[in-house]
Amino acid sequence: MIIVLKPSHTPKELTALLKEIRRLGYQPHVMRGVARTVIGAIGDERSHPSLDALCAWSQVESVTPIQKRHKLVSREAHPQNSTIRVRDVVIGGPELVVMAGPCSVESEPQIIETAHAVKAAGAKILRGGAFKPRTSPYEFQGLGEKGLKLLAKARKETGLPVITELLSEDHAELVAEYADILQIGARNAQNFQLLIAAAKTGRPVLLKRGLSMRIEEWLSAGEYVLSNDNAGLMFCERGIRTFETYTRNTLDLSAVPIMKNETHCPVVIDPSQGTGRADLVVAMCKGAVAMGSDALLVEVHPNPKAAKSDSAQQLSLEAFAKMMTELRPFAQAAGRG
């Protein structure tokens, strides 16, 4: 069931309502939107009293049953767009947010130079991999905690919040100590215990779409984050595996309007992983913005040819700055100016 509260409700009234929902045998999950607070009440309506009587409470605007399996991520649960605040950055609001940085943190000079450059070009969040999931065990696996410390240093110098990937439940608290957003990669998109561990840190979670994941499965995976009392969920389309070999993956831009229709959570596009080709990143970013994406996740490196991972898909600092200039009219046309 979904309970929508009136804008005028008080914290005391919310507390009393949550207590009553629990008394009736349901688990409440609070989601705060721009203009409304919504409570998702999870429970078996066949064995517990109906919540319809809550309509009589003065602070309640409506009570609605939800039929979909992914109840909390659904638009039925939360008709308005959710926004996520990360320090001074708001994702899902009127402004297009660009997250940029290297695939892997390789050294202090590399990440510091990149952080200053992407900020100057207009990026709002710094990305960088400290723990890297690689296809081969012999490839560069990242700097680990040292990489996290370098990201934190770059944040201190530039003021940019940091997003980095979480690979292991054992590292959840460590990564959350340094990062502002936890990224769950495609290979772990249905690693439900990892999703729960990420959610329980309290940090916003960016959930990438799995290599062969249907949208229904993606939405259901996201439910693990919201159902563990973490409202900071973002979905990131990063390309799916198809028969096509001309690109590394097939970037499904149709996922943007589909997801915007299905969920209130912000939708992000990663064109770097999505295509595996730096020469396609700019075009895919323009398309993503036109489709209604809330944010972009772009790989940028001071010297892509010398990158220790995914060199073919990373933009140079100069190419990124040029792309940001070219994106402005697209963002303005999409109401994201």
Single-letter amino acid code for the residue at 307: A
* pLDDT at 13 > cutoff 70: yes
* pLDDT at 152 > cutoff 90: yes
* pLDDT at 93 > cutoff 80: yes
CA distance 161 to 79: 28
Which position has the higher pLDDT, 261 or 309? Answer: 261
In a domain, 70, yes or no: no
Bridge partners of 208, per DSSP, are 236
C-beta of residue 54 within 8 angstroms of C-beta of residue 3: yes
Predicted TM-score (pTM) of the model is 0.83
The whole-number average pLDDT for the span 148-152 is: 97
Domain, as residue range, for 247: 84-333
Residues 164 and 303 in one domain: yes
In a domain, 205, yes or no: yes
In a domain, 161, yes or no: yes
Distances, alpha carbon 187 to alpha carbons 56, 102, 104, 193, 262, in Å: 46, 19, 17, 13, 23
* pLDDT at 35 > cutoff 90: no
User: Residue 248 corresponds to which tokens in the numbers above?
Assistant: 């590394």
Single-letter amino acid code for the residue at 51: L
User: Residue 144 corresponds to which tokens in the numbers above?
Assistant: 């680990």
Residues 103 and 45 in one domain: no
Residues 55 and 147 in one domain: no
Please tell me the total count of domains within the chain.
2
Residues 230 and 159 in one domain: yes
User: What helix, strand, coil percent values describe the chain, rounded to 5?
Assistant: 40, 20, 40
CA distance 157 to 211: 35
* pLDDT at 67 > cutoff 70: no
Query: What pLDDT is attached to residue 68?
Result: 67
In a domain, 72, yes or no: no
Query: What pLDDT is attached to residue 126?
Result: 98
92: phi > 0 → left, psi -120 to 50 → alpha, else beta; which? Answer: left
Query: What pLDDT is attached to residue 7?
Result: 87
In a domain, 94, yes or no: yes
The region of weakest confidence among 75-84, 110-119, 322-331 is 75-84
Residue 19, domain CATH: 3.30.70.1140
The whole-number average pLDDT for the span 41-70 is: 80
Confidence of residue 261 (pLDDT cuts 50, 70, 90): very high
**C-alpha of 266 from chain center:** 7
* pLDDT at 1 > cutoff 70: yes
Query: What pLDDT is attached to residue 142?
Result: 77
Helix (H) or strand (E) holding 217: helix 215-226
Supply the mean pLDDT for the chain.
92
Residue 140, domain CATH: 3.20.20.70
